[in-house]
Amino acid sequence: MTIALRRLRERLTARVRTVVDNPDARRAAVLVPLVGSQTAPDIVFFERTHEVLEHKGEICFPGGSVEPHDDGPVAAALREAHEELTVLPDAVEIIGLLDDVETRVSNYTITPVVGFIEGQPQLQPDPLEVARIIRVPLARLFEPGVEATQVREHEGTRLLMYSYTFDGNRVWGATGRITRALVDTLRKDERMHFVVFIEYTDMAARERSLPSHRAYLAQGRASGEVVQSGPFADGKGGMYILDVEDEARARAFVATDPYTAAGMKLTLRQWHASREGK
């Protein structure tokens, strides 16, 4: 897959970015570093050491809290990238900003800043914070089997979790959601993603309609509209994800699902990677 940073820049400029204004949350910013060439960049993560206070051993982007002396999230992201990886701020071309991401456990609102560094920068990790640098071709994240979605329950609410697994590394949590937002921006932008939550309101009716429902989803997978499906661990429901041109098509798909005729409760909502999970 050829990835043109020009296309990414245009899409980030044209879109309306989601800005979260939560006075009770701590503000943070991360740099999403793309390095190498304009048409085949790598993306850089790093694994945190076990000496840091939060998110020990996790894979993340360089970043941290927005300090009072920072001139906004871009300045904070560049400062943190310099402190953690010795990235020179003047060497970074700012491509654009992704949607703000909220974390539920650590209570941060994170602004992801996408930046490009041409060539082969010599990154020097801070040994107190960085266990190792992880650099992978951005196109690798689009390969089958790398991206995965899970449903997790948090305080009574079911949430979508996103992860990317490659070369023995697993990117998840807030970093997974930021990565998903970047990947979505690079994908064909005329499509929309929706998640359909299914509640088994009548188990006997569910069993009778299960074969036709499975066949219906198989047709959706063949057409490319159903990208993922599966039951919940509690056995009381399931979900599937649609990749369609608009909400009208998503509603039409749900309306003709055999589970709808069987009386199951199907709930449709648009899939926003920045608003889910950890």
**pLDDT per residue over 59-77, tens digit each?**
999 999 999 999 999 999 9
User: 221: helix, coil or strand?
Assistant: helix
Measure the CA–CA gap between 105 and 45, rounded to whole angstroms: 21
Pairing of strands 101-102, 93-97: unpaired
Residues 5-19: pLDDT tens digits? 888 998 899 888 999
Architecture of domain 192-275: 2-Layer Sandwich (3.30)
SS3 172: coil
Pick from 161, 224, 221, 222: which is nearest to 187 by CA?
224
Predicted confidence at residue 184, as pLDDT, reads 86
Average pLDDT over residues 161-167: 94
Q: What is the mean pLDDT of residues 163-171?
A: 96
Fold of 5-139: Nucleoside Triphosphate Pyrophosphohydrolase (3.90.79)
Chain-centroid distance of CA 192 in Å reads 14
| In contact, 257 and 215? CB cutoff 8 Å | no
Q: What is the mean pLDDT of the chain?
A: 89
Q: How much is the average pLDDT of 224-228?
A: 86
Q: State residue 245's pLDDT score.
A: 74
Task: Return the pLDDT at 264.
Answer: 96
Where are the chain's structural domains?
Answer: 5-139, 192-275
Measured distance CA(171)–CA(48) in Å, rounded: 12
pLDDT band at 2 (very low <50, low <70, confident <90, very high): low
- What per-residue confidence (pLDDT) applies to 19? 94
Q: How many CB atoms lie within 10 A of CB 198?
A: 23
Over residues 116-137, the mean pLDDT reads 95
149 contacts 240 by C-beta, under 8 angstroms: no
Q: How far is 43 from 145, CA to CA, in rounded Å?
A: 18
Which segments of the chain are extended strands (E)? Answer: 26-36, 41-48, 59-60, 63-65, 93-97, 101-102, 108-118, 130-137, 147-154, 157-166, 169-171, 192-199, 226-231, 237-244, 265-270
